Amino acid sequence: MALKARSTANDTTFAEAYAQAHSSAGKRTVGFNPTTQYVSTTGAHAFVAPGSGDARGPCPGLNALANHGYIPHNGIGTTAQFTQATNQVYGMGLDVATFLSAYGTAVDGDIVSLSFSIGQGQSTILGPEDGLTGSHNNYETDVSPTRGDLYEYGDNYDVQLSQFVQLYDLQSSVSDPTQVNYDIPLLTSFRVTRFQQSIDNNPYFFNAAFSGLAVQPAAYQFTFRLMANKSEEFPEGRLDRDTLKSFFAISGPDDNLVYTPGHERIPDNWYKRAIGDEYDLPFFLTELGTIAAANPQFASIGGNTGQVDTFTGVNVADLTGGVYNAQTLLQGNNLACFILQVAMMEPSVAAATILLQQLTAVVSPLLSQFDCPELTEIDDSLFDNFPGYTRSS
């Protein structure tokens, strides 16, 4: 039976569920300090367009870091460089930064040099690495806000201008530019649309256990949480049209938008999250779970079966040996637990001792804090019925 995306669960809208879960959201903010939150785009960090041989890929935030010299301009950085830069520039929590950098290096990079490419992979002494561009359904995923599904477009790294315009136009009715804001509820509504578009248009759409449930929502949540410009008036940030365009390499007037591949840039006069209010792993996972509870299709592991509109979900109880089922996965902290547990089960992680240690240091305290049920393995043979999974494998 084909799955049709829904925007509500149990008659509770996302806006209502989000408000309930974040009733004290304003209290999180640690004020606004223009001195400590200002991000330089001049001098050593002036924008420099990528040249021949410079890697750029599906993540606009990492592309912008390379273009401004916060990570190596060639787009190949170490785990430590990615961790430091995303924390320094965007206010990403060190736990999120470590988790994503270590996982990305383990599954798509070079575990000897502890580095990976933000675009196409490089040759290493252990053989070719995937890089982010080559990591489809391993790290990079379908249902991106602006990048196309790989098996729909044959390209998972360039902005599909039609998708950007669809997102951009969601604020077209706002006549006062000072009130434009591409915030979490708006981006979530767009994710609902994009999820259904993948079902309707990509015969090989696959919503994977880690990349679909963790990386896909990150693409939407990070867009606001890390790219919105902070100010005294908007300490949690406001993501206006010009800021959105800058981070996604878009220029030109509203009626003639132009995409220049690889030219993502940090806007001038841009301010990151407040020191002490970093977007940490508990915040990210709690927000992710709240959104999924109101939109349960997001937590449906599975995909189309070779034809469009044939989305079939995996039985979660069979997948996890009864530890979770489709209902309990969305209860309490279980979705966060499952994501962390699946990440630690990745064979590439287990094979990289230093990266395993880094991930364990981040994940183990949260598994305890969230009181997670024990999950030691998943039956990934259930994914073999999905051509989107087998093609990527």
Sheet holding 312-313, edge to edge: 206-207, 302-303, 312-313
Instruction: Please tell me the distance from the alpha carbon of residue 99 to that of residue 22, in angstroms, as a whole number.
Output: 24
Give pLDDT tens digits for 342-351: 999 999 998 8
Provide the pLDDT confidence category of residue 117 given band limits of 50, 70 and 90.
very high
Which residues are paired to 39 by β-bridges?
Answer: 270
CA distance 154 to 175: 37
Using CA atoms of 214, 207, 388, 205 in order, give the dihedral in degrees to the nearest 10. Answer: -120
Q: What pLDDT is recorded for position 23?
A: 42
pTM value is 0.92
pLDDT tens digits, 169-219: 999 999 999 999 999 999 999 999 999 999 999 999 999 999 999 999 999
Whether 127 has a pLDDT exceeding 90, the answer reads no
Nearest to 65 by CA among 43, 85, 94: 85
* CA-closest candidate to residue 115, choices 157, 80, 86, 158: 80
> For the chain, which residues make up each domain, given as ranges?
45-392
What percentage of the chain carries pLDDT values higher than 90?
88
What pLDDT is stored for residue 392 in this prediction?
79
pLDDT class of 125 with cuts at 50, 70, 90: very low
Whole-angstrom CA distances from 147 to 58, 133, 156, 159, 351 are 7, 11, 6, 5, 31
pLDDT of residue 123: 56
Domain boundaries 45-392, CATH class? mainly alpha
Residue 1 is predicted with a pLDDT of 34
